Structure 1
């Protein structure tokens, strides 16, 4: 009977092997950790700049709270990155320890072997003994072999001495490397502790700002209600424009289909008339031929009764051209279809509408930053940027509407086939309805949030009348 207890450790190892291999495969390399560390430090610097800007306002704001939370999140990720780097260093140190132990053991073995060689050489140090060993050979070939043996023995002893020196040098390098790794670990641990101290300071500042903001709930609720009303106005304007575009495209498609049907009917009518005329001409020609034959031979040919004109064979029904199947009425034209396909091809690669900025309001329902019982819903993403920053079109298309929202800035709607990009909260606008725009073309400037002392622009993307999450369309930073 098979003893399962005996093989249980092997079974467990085999079961855990895929997970261990997968974990090893997903573990970032030293270069990736270094790159990630630089990127995180860059993002922390940007968050610090954003915090400096928002602190210029006279009161605490949601912008300060956002910037502090971003800093805390980024710094936590940086600390985790540093800890992974420390793990790498610890691995190098452990490896160095193992190498040093192995080299020390090899060195002791080489020294012991060399000592035995030295003792043997000392005992046989007399030249007479060496010559006696060679000349006591039974034959000349045996003497040659004994001479070669002595030579190889000397060479081996010399190589052993060289190996001892080389191993000693390598051991010293390993010890020096170990010392460097320990110094590096000490420096990294110091950096990690400094980051933890800064993190604690940021958390205290965040809690302080949050406490002060909670004391202004009524003011924040009023601001939420205002933003909600502005968003409703924007949505009404967008829905009106998109539905008008759909209706216009449908009407145009119907008119084109009616014109095509009329042209087909006219073509069929002309073909039927032509066939009837041809049949009548053929019948007349046949009757004339019979009359001519009777006139030439009247004594032999009886004049037949006039034949009723034969009915022409029914013509096969003309093929009615079916209009090409259109998935969406907004893609009824080849240009619109090509623009839609190109827009979809660039999903996740579209540029940001501003040169520099960060997302301060994500798409969809979000919990309010201060009041946990309240949620806010964004129809797009809100991007914080510098005051008066240039806002650019993220894709080529046609401006379908420019709307001024009282108290909410300007709105620019650009169509890209069946897709629409909407730029909300603009302070100034450089385009008008009907303008063709290219990717990256400046269409206006960002609005200003005086409370948070920064510029803002909201980007919305629609597929027909369906909202899209812009974060899945624009490229990641």
Structure 2
């Protein structure tokens, strides 16, 4: 719709410019016609006077009747100048006639251009009106269904919150297990020297970590935001959603160990991978390649992303935690910002 508006503004500007050019041409044509009529009138008077005295005898008598040689010379010069002036007048009439014809031709061309632009403008306006009508219909339809959509979004948000709560519970249980093993009491992972080194390596790669898919586009970002369709509804995400081609594989973003593979009611399998005190979560898989306790490497495929047959969308939901605190993946993955 913005393009149609821009096209209409452009054609209106061009029409206005052409109208100005046409008006200038009309003034020039009128001026030339006046000058041409004056030249023709002068030329006609000159021709009449010339015919009255056009005989060779009259010209000769005019010269011979001179009182002296100097007067005869002046009369001969006058006759030459008069003949030259007649020729010049004829040339001017011819040139102004040609110029007038050119102005007329240019005027005709610009009028045709203006007519074509008006047609183009009218078509663009009709197309814009059609788009606006369709847009208004869509807006009205969305408004009618907004409540229904909002309820669906709220329902999905509750499901997502429940899954995030379960993931948080699993991570807390893993933290408790590490504490029990180390004989300590902490809200965070108690790490072995090897796990500390892994966590430090993971942290040092902040902003340089590979994406959890080979190719994809972020369709939902981290944090609280307005729903992209129902703008009156707010949604919250502990990670990012990445739209990928059907059949795409999910892959580990760093070396680590499969902490758990879980599937909750109403969801597809989820793989949790531990990297020291960092946990990465890969949701919405249709098939899983790894098992709980497996060691994985960076970019190693861990499963296939699920494709929804109803809307043909293939979306991986990826989250990253430091202990139990959600992190914005855009701060960690390479050029996600």
Q: TM-score range by the shorter chain?
A: 0.5 to 0.7
SS of equivalent to 2:183: helix
Question: For 1:231-242, what aligned pairs fall within 5 Å after superposition?
Answer: 231-242=160-171
SS in 1 for 2:306: strand
Q: 1:214 to 1:382 in 2, by over 3 A?
A: farther
Q: Distance in 2 between matches of 1:207 and 1:346?
A: 48
CA separation in 2, counterparts of 1:376 and 1:207? 25
The secondary structure found in structure 1 opposite 2:281 is strand
Question: Which residues of 2 match residues 89-108 of structure 1 at below 5 A?
Answer: none
Match of 1:348 among 207, 217, 224: 207
**1:410 CA displacement:** 1.1
**Normalized against structure 2, the TM-score is what?**
0.56
Secondary structure at 2:274 match in 1: strand
Q: Say if 2:248 is the partner of 1:380.
A: no
The question of whether the paired residues in 1 share the 8 Å contact of 2:239 and 2:319 is answered with: yes
> Over residues 155-202 of structure 1, what are the superposed CA-to-partner deviations in whole Å (9 max), with x where a residue is unaligned?
xxxxxxxxxxxxxxxxxxxxxxxxxxxxxxxxxxxxxxxxxx9xx99x
Offset at residue 330 of structure 1 (A): 2.2
Aligned residues: 211
Q: Tell me which protein shows more strand as a share of its residues.
A: 2
Secondary structure at the counterpart of residue 409 of structure 1:
coil
Equivalent positions of 1:53-452 (< 5 A) are 212-254=141-183, 330-452=189-311
Structure 1 residue runs of 5 or longer lacking an equivalent are 1-67, 76-196, 258-326
- Residue by residue over 1:408-443, the C-alpha shift from the partner in whole angstroms, topping out at 9 and shown as x without a partner, is 211111100000000111121111110111111111
Contact kept? 2:251, 2:299, Cα under 8 Å: yes
| Distance of aligned partners of 1:214 and 1:452 in 2 relative to their CA distance in 1, 3 Å threshold | farther
- Superposed displacement of residue 450, structure 1: 4.1
- Structure with a larger share of its residues in helix: 1
Kept in 2, the 8 Å contact 1:365–1:378? The answer is yes
CA offsets, 1:226-252, max 9 Å, x none?
322321232122112111111111111
Secondary structure (helix, strand or coil) at the match of 2:229 reads: coil
Distance in 1 separating the partners of 2:137 and 2:295: 49
The question of whether the paired residues in 1 share the 8 Å contact of 2:242 and 2:317 is answered with yes
Report SS of the residue matched to 1:405. coil
- Kindly tell me: are residues 421 and 206 of structure 1, through their superposed partners in 2, closer, same or farther at Cα, counting changes over 3 Å? farther
After superposition, the Cα gap between the structure-2 partners of 1:464 and 1:452, relative to the gap in structure 1 and judged at 3 Å, is same
Give secondary structure in 2 for the equivalent of 1:216: helix
Superposed displacement of residue 222, structure 1: 3.5
Q: Could you state the TM-score of these two structures normalised by the residue count of structure 1? A: 0.41
